[in-house]
Amino acid sequence: MFTKLNLVWIVAGRELRDQMRDWRVLAPMAILVFCFPLLMNEFAKQTVDFLNQYNANLILERLVPFSIMIIGFFPITVSLVVALESFVGEKERGTIEPLLSSPLEDWQLYFGKLLVGVATPLIASYLSIGLYMLLAMRQELNMPPPLIMFQLLLLTGAHAFLMVSAAIVISVQSTSVKAANLLASFIVIPVAILMQGEAVMLFWGNEQVLWLAIAGVTIIALLLIRVGIAHFHREYLLGREIDVVNVRWIWRTFWSSFIGGATSLKEWYGRVLGSALRRAVPAMLVLLLVSGVSVWLGYDWIMKNAAQAIKMASPEDIASITERVQEVPDLRTFSESISAPFLFLNNSRAVLFIFALGTVSFSVLGVLLYMVNIGLIGGLFGLFQLIGLNAWPLFIAGVLPHGVFELPALLIGSAAMLYFGANMVTPQVGKSMGEVILELLADWTKIFLGLVLPLLAIAALIETYITPSLLIAALQ
């Protein structure tokens, strides 16, 4: 095992030495590492003077941690070029073939590159942070407590890990350095947005929330590494020579997988859709389990938090809530105020949104959104219990009739998304990443068009025309 790991180190060592001799990498990194903390320090000084005029203590207290987060981020974006170049750069320079022809195994090559890709930005980031800390201490700014400091360093590491993992996936799949650099925006921009969220957590949240952010970013990074290794094929690395969007091939691959050789709608439903559903069965079982957990979490959260909120609410707040409850449309005229097409489109959009979030996060965010949707049922149960109502008759009359169709549609649609994400991180022998994505997309489309949409259509009709009458009966 040590010998095998040693080869990872050898690949990384060569790459690192090579990068450290390239002034195009070194110069911008050095400028950022040494100049940015100085700029940030100057900015902090001005901000402190300004904030002191308004006694904005919270912002003052969190200024240094926030600055550390920003300072850590910039060197990563610049040194990302090391990871982006790792495979495609070698391919362009013609140095990849001797490496691929050597006895190095795929994972040794991949982790060797990953190690350098992560180490370079981390060294730059930590140097930059260290320098800023020295300057901030001289300014006698409020320094973060050790735990927050530790979390910030971890978070910076997780950012580097996430961005580099994504950059290496791009490097393996790109056909030119130019294309890889263009695609890098899809890493930098989402991480910049993520950091804005983290900054909000930092200012108004607590350490617990930061731990969650660290865990979330690390999980996505690990999944990206898994995706990278799953789709690392020496053959495709050498085979792809030029960037050409082959629309005909894309359409043909998708369509042949979507149709699956069926000659009639009946055959398509029976054989093609049937087999796509069978493939998604494990994902359905997992989501069934997740559903149970979500309902319990929703119930538990309401029982713990809503009761306290009700106790703490002022008479004005309670009056406002009552007023809003009265604004709920009259159930007898429900079909006039909310139409079946509206419900159908709304629910379809929810399934599509779950899929969209799932595809960009290897199912993680999609599953979280599914959990929120299902968790609402548990929450409603809890809420009814808190206000002294028996939830079961309401559930049976108000949710179950259309829920019999809507909930399975949500479960199956989300399971198709989970199946998509899980297969993205699973090695697929003899298929390029493009083929895998197109076939998975075809499977998801089959399930969405063939089953989810019809179920949602039936659910919308029942919810509009049947559920209100049943609910009125139950309430009476």
Name the site residues for another protein (rule: CB under 8 A). Answer: 3, 7, 10-11, 14, 17-18, 21-22, 93-105, 234-235, 238-239, 249, 430
Three-state DSSP at 233 gives coil
Q: How far is the CB of 305 from another protein (least distance, A)?
A: 56
Cβ atoms within 10 Å of 236's Cβ, excluding its own:
16
Tokens representing 441 are: 């997309």
Q: How far is the CB of 98 from another protein (least distance, A)?
A: 4
Close Cβ partners of 438 (under 8 Å, ≥ 6 residues apart): 250, 253, 254, 257
CA nearest neighbour of 78 among 142, 169, 209, 167: 167
Query: Whose structure tokens read 């139950």?
Result: 474
Integer Cα distance of 476 and 244 in angstroms: 66
Q: In the chain, what is the greatest distance between 2 CA atoms, to the nearest angstrom?
A: 80
Residue among 21 and 138 whose Cβ is closer to another protein: 21
Residue among 23 and 54 whose Cβ is closer to another protein: 23
Q: How far is the CB of 107 from another protein (least distance, A)?
A: 12
Residue among 18 and 267 whose Cβ is closer to another protein: 18
Q: How far is the CB of 101 from another protein (least distance, A)?
A: 4
CA dihedral 248, 251, 253, 258 (to 10 degrees): -160
Q: How far is the CB of 438 from another protein (least distance, A)?
A: 14
Residue among 14 and 271 whose Cβ is closer to another protein: 14
Q: How far is the CB of 235 from another protein (least distance, A)?
A: 5
Residue among 115 and 284 whose Cβ is closer to another protein: 115
In degrees rounded to 5, what are phi and psi of residue 328?
-60, 135
Integer Cα distance of 211 and 470 in angstroms: 46
Tokens representing 218 are: 């690390």
Tokens representing 27 are: 């110069």
CA dihedral 297, 301, 304, 308 (to 10 degrees): -170
- The answer for 356, left when phi > 0, alpha when psi is -120 to 50, beta otherwise, is alpha
Cβ atoms within 10 Å of 426's Cβ, excluding its own:
12
Residue among 62 and 233 whose Cβ is closer to another protein: 233
Cβ atoms within 10 Å of 243's Cβ, excluding its own:
11
Kind and range of the H or E element at 91? helix 88-93
Residue among 146 and 430 whose Cβ is closer to another protein: 430
Q: How far is the CB of 87 from another protein (least distance, A)?
A: 14
Integer Cα distance of 293 and 290 in angstroms: 5
Q: How far is the CB of 234 from another protein (least distance, A)?
A: 5
Residue among 244 and 328 whose Cβ is closer to another protein: 244
Integer Cα distance of 27 and 293 in angstroms: 52
Residue among 12 and 452 whose Cβ is closer to another protein: 12
Integer Cα distance of 195 and 192 in angstroms: 5
Residue among 20 and 147 whose Cβ is closer to another protein: 20
Residue among 100 and 466 whose Cβ is closer to another protein: 100
Looking at residue 205, the DSSP 8-state letter turns out to be S
Q: How far is the CB of 120 from another protein (least distance, A)?
A: 15
Q: How far is the CB of 106 from another protein (least distance, A)?
A: 10
Three-state DSSP at 175 gives coil
How big is the chain, counted in residues? Answer: 476
Q: How far is the CB of 7 from another protein (least distance, A)?
A: 7
Integer Cα distance of 128 and 122 in angstroms: 10
Q: How far is the CB of 117 from another protein (least distance, A)?
A: 17
Cβ atoms within 10 Å of 374's Cβ, excluding its own:
23
Residue among 150 and 249 whose Cβ is closer to another protein: 249
